[in-house]
Structure 1
Amino acid sequence: MSHLADWASVAVTLALGVAGFAVAGNIRRDVKLRLAERRLAAYERLWALMRPASPYADPLDEHGRQLLQGAFTDWYFAHGDGMLLERVSRNVYFETKDNLTRPLGLLTPMESRARIAELEPSDRQRARGMLAQRQLSLLRTQLKSDLAVFGTPYGPALGPEDRAFLRHCGVNIQQQPWRETTTIDPTT
């Protein structure tokens, strides 16, 4: 009889263990779902801030870039939105935000800095605004990838400066959503 009781005890323990794993799995899925919903709301707020630098707008001047950089900083701390950024997206976010107001000699990537430095001083402001528009577009594409919304990145195919910027931020350009827009060229 004790042998039967031992087997019954094992069966009950096993059943409780399986039930515990099932409940834990459901809790993890629920937490991930809530996190995804919060991330989507946070990204929607950030996306709205980028309207002045949309591809359809004129390139931002220095004052516009300063305002946008301030709005990005406010977004990061409001509602805990900044902590919802995935690691790679956080890198792209900070590099893009910081490039809005960085001195020319500190712009990233180095390729963009060199190209803009070679321009006439009167043309640099517009080039900085165009660089901001492009990097913000790259940021939006990276944010969409966090939400598993894959599509073709908006605008021209990735150029050498884009690839250098994304690599600098730790983005693997051989993965979605970048993979389809890049050709493997070891020199860039």
Structure 2
Amino acid sequence: MLIVVLLTVKFLTPLFEYTQNAILSSIIISAFIRLIDYDAAILIWKIDKLDFVACMGAFLGIVFKSVEIGLLIAVIISFAKILLQVTRPRTAILGKIPMTSVYKNLKQYLEAIKVTGVLIVRVNSANYFSNSSYSKEWILRWLIEEEDNLKANYEPRIQFLIVEMSLVTDIDTSGIHAFEELHKSLQKIDV
């Protein structure tokens, strides 16, 4: 019996050398697969594409490098998202909900209708030096597009532009100057 054990240890042990690694790997892989929450990733994709990019960046960084690298990638992407939101404020064209005095985003509320001769634009964030020219340019671009659409459909032109800023919490001098320039531009085209 001693000879059989010695021969097994001497000659058969190298055959089982990597068994521990294989068993440990299979345990880690099976636990790792249960850690991935596909439903949460799909929800993040539906809600915010940049958050999904940060999530996938963190995931891939952790899988292929280390936890620190994954977190660093997620932080950098999230910081870039914040900078993008600060420099590109959300704006929307509003329309009136029939039978009410409520005005809502035309893209979100399909039942909302445009008011004849009026373009209503909502600015959803503070207006600083970093985004004031962007807001002004978008408003003018929407006005020109609306005018072109109205001409194509032989409808009355826009006479008034209303900039709804109830969600704006702060505005600096650059923001004020941008709206003064917008006002001068509107006067030139008789709006």
If the length of structure 2 is used for normalisation, what is the TM-score?
0.30
- TM-score, L = length of structure 1: 0.30
